[in-house]
Amino acid sequence: MTESPAARTTPFPDKWARVAGTPTVEIFHTAIRKLVAERLAASGKTWEEAVQDPALELTRADFEQLEADLLATGYRFQMSATVSLKEDPDKYRPVAGLTDSGTQERDEQGRSIVGTGDNVFRTAEDVTGTARFVSTVESVMEMLVGGVPDGIIAVIDDSGGTLTAPILGDFAGVVCMGGTIRSHLGILTREFGVPCLMAAVIDGLADGDRVTVEYSKPAADVYATADAAAGQRARIIKLS
């Protein structure tokens, strides 16, 4: 069932059947439609003539200005790769959890729980190793050429499955800050036999920390209720 014209935010309710799936996409679509309509009107051409005129094409500068207008409102993009935040910090929201909130829970031995995640598959024992944030081509090349040190637990973002593919099998474990256990990375780590947490939420974990990851917990159940799923999540425990 389509939305009524009154419910739409697009300025062309008769042409566009419904609004976009997210407000950000709708903002861009609306701005582009408005820009095209203005240029068409100013050109004096028919639509058939205008679409054949290279002089009326939208340019990179046009799209950069649309982005600048959006950012000027205070909006910031949600990054999917931490390298984006590094390269354009003014465009992206800070990554929640990578700094120490000071409010971590403690495990039975009083150690800080610095993260949780959905276990892809169950191992016989938990894994202890060194957390290493792997989010750049340079870091992957370093380990590709020099080898992955023993006991590295790679902490990666949404794009990390592709980025780390050449060395994925050499990690002692993986913690991914995105995806689900059904994601491609979950499938790859399961095939490589590399323990993996997906959809990890991290709080206070730093590069180089010694950690124990509860890969021995049962694999996450994708059909579990929200409350049950929360109780299934494996913990990342900081040792030093």
- What are the extents of the domains in the chain? 5-75, 113-238
Apex 225 CA angle, 205 and 78, nearest 5: 45
Cβ atoms of 216 and 124 within 8 Å: the answer is: yes
Total number of residues shown for the chain: 240
CATH of 113-238, one of 3.40.50.80, 3.40.50.1100, 3.50.30.10, 3.50.50.60: 3.50.30.10
pLDDT of the chain, 240 residues: tens digit per residue: 344 434 444 444 555 556 667 788 888 988 999 999 999 999 999 999 999 999 999 999 999 999 999 999 999 887 767 777 778 888 988 765 566 666 788 888 889 999 999 999 999 999 999 999 998 889 999 999 999 999 999 999 877 788 899 999 999 999 998 888 989 999 999 999 999 999 999 988 999 999 999 999 999 987 777 766 767 899 999 997
